[in-house]
Amino acid sequence: MPEFKTSPGTRDILAPHSARWRAFQEVFARTVEAAGYSYIIPPMFEDLDVFLRLGEATEVVTKEMYDFHDKGGRHVALRPEQTASVCRAFVEHRPTTPWKVWYSGPNFRYEKPQQGRYRQFDQVGVEALGADDPLLDAEVIALAAKFYADLGLRKVHLSINTLGDEGDREKYSQQLSSYLTANEKSLTAESRATLERNPLRVLDSKREPDQKVIAGAPAIRDSISATANEHFEAVLQSLDALNIKYEINNRLVRGLDYYRHTAFEFVTDRLGAQGTVLGGGRYDGLIENLGGPATPAVGWAAGIERLAMLIEQLPVQQLEAMIVLENDAGLGQAFALLRQLRQAGISADMIATGSPKKRYDKAVKQNPAAILRVNENGYYGFSGEDTNSPLMNFLKSLAP
């Protein structure tokens, strides 16, 4: 028999990592639902054309797409991200605005697999469609900041820039193109190729020789319109008011072509080259590109794999109570206690089989917060730390 393994760039996520994965999604859902964002589950594949709207010069489109013809001859693609699907859904269903949604699930990109970069990877994200208010840019950024704070991650930093409006972006693109062409000899071959297709994307390069050229490039902020500048100033003021720290990065353009005005990333220096854990911005042109009415929108997506690497230190949920049945005559009482605990929202399990002498040791091996002893007279005591936890308070209420 051949030895089967996961395909390159994909992985099985097993315990204890899988538990963190879920904790992560739960924290996210709690954070964004409290802010009024509703859950959307878009399909995992769409007609290829939906994703082509992300921009012809976008790597996701040109190099990384998992597209194929299905048995009916339809040209479809596994989604490389979910913003395009959210916008397609908006155009299809025309919900009332502002439409605020969140999503969570896998995306597919044909990339070179490496640490923190996979072909199937998960993202959580939010999108707010139908309002151009700079307060909304700040709101989604604040959600991201709260999300990291709730996860106990402090070493992620917000980096922010403005791309101006569509005209500004075009003008700047030309300016940058002349600068980069003048310095073409110092760029890597990859960046020279990118320069022809989309000069802005060269700023995205993390390669050393390119970085040197990029450091001297003109800044977009020097050439944006007064209204675009006003929008950006308002976003920054709101962030100040929310006490959210940021660093303005003149070179930040993001990988996708559809961004306008605000673009931002949350970055950590603890994951090497794959340090961007979240990316987002305003994409006022995308919905129109998909055949909808002109609709301003802002949002972000965070990669779970990279966050998972950062939250290795996040405590895995521990079983709170393990019941040890020390005398089989107490089985009825043990079951009753198990039910009571679970009803009270306390995670609980029971060891009631095998040699009664070995049950306690078995329980210890599972490392629960407390071990509850039950015999024919019912519950008679626990071992574990005596704290003010809901479990301990519950047990004290039972105390024999």
Report the residue number, 124 or 338, with the smaller CB distance to ligand ATP: 124
**Shortest reach from residue 127's CB to ligand ATP, in Å:** 13
Query: Strand pairing partners for 126?
Result: 102, 300
**Shortest reach from residue 60's CB to ligand ATP, in Å:** 7
**Shortest reach from residue 319's CB to ligand ATP, in Å:** 31
Q: Pick the binder of ligand ATP from 85, 198, 238, 276 (CB under 6 A).
A: 276
> Peptide bond before 98: cis, by omega within 30 degrees of 0?
yes
| Residue 299 in the binding site for ligand ATP (CB under 6 A) | no
Footprint (CB under 6 A) of ligand ATP, residues 300-339: 301, 303, 305-306
- Cα gap 277→21, rounded to integer Å: 15
| Residue 42 in the binding site for ligand ATP (CB under 6 A) | no
Report the residue number, 277 or 391, with the smaller CB distance to ligand ATP: 277
**Shortest reach from residue 267's CB to ligand ATP, in Å:** 9
Near ligand ATP by CB under 6 A, which window of 68-76, 109-117, 127-135, 309-317? 109-117
Of 324, 310, 305, 399, the closest CA to residue 368 belongs to 324
Report the residue number, 84 or 224, with the smaller CB distance to ligand ATP: 84
Report the residue number, 116 or 330, with the smaller CB distance to ligand ATP: 116
Site string for ligand ATP, 232-261 (x = CB under 6 A): -----------------------x------
Near ligand ATP by CB under 6 A, which window of 48-56, 234-242, 297-305, 336-344? 297-305
Site string for ligand ATP, 71-90 (x = CB under 6 A): ----------x---------
> For the chain, what is the HEC assignment?
CCCCCCCCCCCCCCCCHHHHHHHHHHHHHHHHHCCCCEECCCCCEEEHHHHHCCCCCCHHHHCCCCEEECCCCCEEEECCCCHHHHHHHHHHHCCCCCEEEEEEEEEECCCCCECCECCEEEEEEEEEECCCCHHHHHHHHHHHHHHHHHCCCCCCEEEEEECCCHHHHHHHHHHHHHHHHHCHHHCCHHHHHHHHHCHHHHCCCCCHHHHHHHHCCCCHHHHCCHHHHHHHHHHHHHHHHCCCCCEECCCCCCCCCCCEEEEEEEECCCCHHHCEEEEEEECCCHHHHCCCCCCCEEEEEEEHHHHHHHHHHCCCCCCCEEEEECCHHHHHHHHHHHHHHHHCCCCEEEECCCCHHHHHHHHHHCCCCEEEEEECCEEEEEEECCCCCHHHHHHHHHCC
**Shortest reach from residue 225's CB to ligand ATP, in Å:** 25
**Shortest reach from residue 311's CB to ligand ATP, in Å:** 13
Report the residue number, 195 or 348, with the smaller CB distance to ligand ATP: 195
**Shortest reach from residue 114's CB to ligand ATP, in Å:** 9
**Shortest reach from residue 14's CB to ligand ATP, in Å:** 18
Footprint (CB under 6 A) of ligand ATP, residues 110-139: 111, 117-118, 121, 123
Binding site for ligand ATP (CB under 6 A): 81, 109, 111, 117-118, 121, 123, 255, 274, 276-279, 301, 303, 305-306
